[in-house]
Structure 1
């Protein structure tokens, strides 16, 4: 009888908790975290406490990942509607009485100052995955229309702030859920083709469209300026084109093997703007060169492929859609950041996951990783 009441050993208590960790996914994050700490030390060692703060943010993200990994997907599904409703309500509050900084109204004071748009990066895929889970087996075209509306509401409110970078991330995560839910290719190909044609026309008619005094009624002035600067940054090399030009110079000057750790001249002579945040990829490229870039890209590809594998093997439709959308968040972060620093996308203020400095973004990434870990754990429990 005494054996029945014996306390479990420390190993017996720890093993079930650690089962929430997917080994390959954790390894990919470890590689990126090491690259981030190295780059942050080099680019931010003389930038106050930036390096120490980055390490603290990583520990915070790791703690959040650990906690979220213990929450089963069924429990996560129960949070979908309330988190989405609260997030949209806070976005409306921002529009009505939000705090304006640097010309953008993105924050609201609810006892503490928060940026509600960050919540929607997770809330939107949660909500859409919940919606399509409820419609499993009886999907109709109208259900995709409702999903589009659920996505359009927060994206529209975020773009109005204006915050193009965050709206792109939220839109990408939402569209991933809608696509993975079974959206027909017949509905996907036409807008993609229209976008390609639009880009070609934009490049071809750039001199006329970006002429002085010409305004695009669809976009804000600053958004139009970013696109025109992307098309021809040399028009204002010391002003709006400075970021792109200096980023490309730093990337090119790194060559194949880079200038070496802490040897980047563009970085340490402060030619690279925002060298610890949005443009940290330029600082990394200068010091580690093409070889370092290939390593970084390979680590992101490994992370994304592992996330998609978890999505593919998930036991429920909700888990599959959520894991796929969360994985696309990492892809969008990395693709947009590297693209804008390299001069192939407009500068929209999107950080590079685990490399760029930023507490809020790190918290979001920690939650996303925790969700993937939770879904991976649920898959193993089902198989056992």
Structure 2
């Protein structure tokens, strides 16, 4: 029995206390909001609880894996992810006009989710291996490693995931020391290429961008999501209508209110004050992640912790922006709040990596 207790204590010692408390508070809020948004549906609530439980278990396991072992897993995961993305392009299942899933018989799997962690892990491993001799060619290789999965995901089409993957890769390249002249040059080139990007976008993607500027132009079509979500957030006022008292959500005016638009439900029920507190909670998690990054003893740990922290911020910013009508609707869930097992597990895997970097002080730099 003492041996078992000692083993449990050792495993728990790799859970960063501050980060764990912040994550648990956010998950508790998520459970309450999903319960309200689903009309207290037993299936939704139990499903969300199962997703949370599985994701927390995965986070705990990941927190106990030393970073130097994680760094070795990155490249084979990346290769497997790219091969699976090619498989999607050739044999993937089509849903709502998008080819994003591989049907494995017992489940449908989105390989793009695997790349959300495999890409930064691979880039961090690559830059740590070349830490002493970093040159322009290494950043060029890093850019190619980013571009391959980005283009494969973009052609599915899955603009939201492609954007998040691109942001993740950019953050890691930036923290690895990407020169400012390259960043500014790339930004100018990207701005100049916007007309080309616009011409390559699908019709529904163009409609989403145009609807952002005038949702009333298609109030029952492309503009419906933005109109209903902004009505819900605005009607919440300063302190909100109260838990399960939101008219927009309870009368099912908000589309996808347990997933992509769960923030509209939260804003209606808890108001401006609740939204500010929720943003503060996200910023606290990001701040803790950046502190972990600053204290990490290896380049791999620093790059992974900083990138994962900013990834969470980007997810939250993009989701809140699209729900409140300041960004186009791109199908990005609100991190650790939206219903969904795959995104929950992926995000808490990232939190587990953060905890691993924070609590494993003696690291192998190889």
Q: Shared topology, TM-score over 0.5?
A: yes
Counterpart CA distance in 2 for 1:193 and 1:99 is 37
5 Å matches for 1:52-201? 52-111=46-105, 112-192=107-187
Residues 229-282 of structure 1: CA deviation (Å, up to 9, x unaligned): 112111111111010011111111000000111110010111111111100100
* 1:198 to 1:141, Cα distance in 2 relative to 1, 3 A: closer
Alignment of 1:201-216 (within 5 A): 216=198
Q: Aligned partners of 2:235 and 2:83: how far apart in 1?
A: 47
1:226 corresponds to which residue?
208
Does the 8 Å contact 2:142/2:173 carry over to 1?
Answer: yes
Correspondence 1:304 to 2:286: yes
Q: Secondary structure at the match of 2:265?
A: helix
8 Å CA contact 2:39, 2:250 repeated in 1: no
Equivalent residues of 2:293, 2:306 under 8 A apart: yes
Displacement of 1:137 = 1.3
Report the more deviating stretch, 326-335 or 98-107: 326-335
Contact map agreement 1:61 1:362 (CA 8 A) in 2: yes
**Is structure 2 residue 269 aligned with structure 1 residue 274?**
no
Which residue number in structure 2 is paired with residue 319 of structure 1?
301
Is residue 91–residue 116 contact of structure 1 (8 Å, CA) maintained in 2? yes
Task: Say whether the 8 Å CA contact 1:313–1:379 is kept in structure 2.
Answer: no
- Normalised to the residue count of structure 1, the TM-score between the two structures is 0.90
Q: TM-score, normalised by structure 2?
A: 0.94
**Unmatched runs of 5 consecutive residues or more in structure 1:** 1-6, 203-214
Could you tell me how far 1:45 is from its partner in structure 2? 3.0
Q: Closer, same or farther in 2 for the Cα pair 1:256/1:192, shift >3 Å?
A: farther
Closer/same/farther in 2, CA of residues 194 and 258 from structure 1, 3 Å limit = farther
Q: Shift of residue 11 of structure 1?
A: 3.8
Deviation sequence 1:134-190 (CA, Å, 0-9, x none) = 110111111101100000000100000001111111111111111100011122234
Is 1:44 the equivalent of 2:26?
Answer: no
Say if 1:160 and 1:139 are closer, same or farther in 2 by CA, change over 3 A: same
Residue 368 of structure 1: which of 340, 347, 350 is its match? 350
RMSD of equivalent CA atoms: 2.1
For the residue of structure 2 that corresponds to 1:137, the secondary structure is helix
Paired with 2:116 and 2:151, the residues of 1 have a C-alpha distance of 14
For these two proteins, the number of residue pairs brought into alignment is 363
- Contact 1:315 1:378 (C-alpha < 8 Å) held by counterparts: no
Give 1:247-266 correspondences, 5 Å limit. 247-266=229-248
Instruction: State the shift of 1:47 in Å.
Output: 4.2
The whole-number CA distance in structure 2 between the counterparts of 1:322 and 1:381 is: 14
Q: Measure the CA separation in 1 of the matches of 2:205 and 2:42.
A: 32
Gaps of 5+ in 2: none
Contact map agreement 2:35 2:41 (CA 8 A) in 1 = no
Name the CA shift for 1:31/1:195 in 2 (closer, same or farther; >3 Å). Answer: farther
For the residues of structure 2 that align with 1:307 and 1:218, how far apart are their CA atoms?
A: 37
Distance in 1, Cα, partners of 2:71 & 2:198: 41
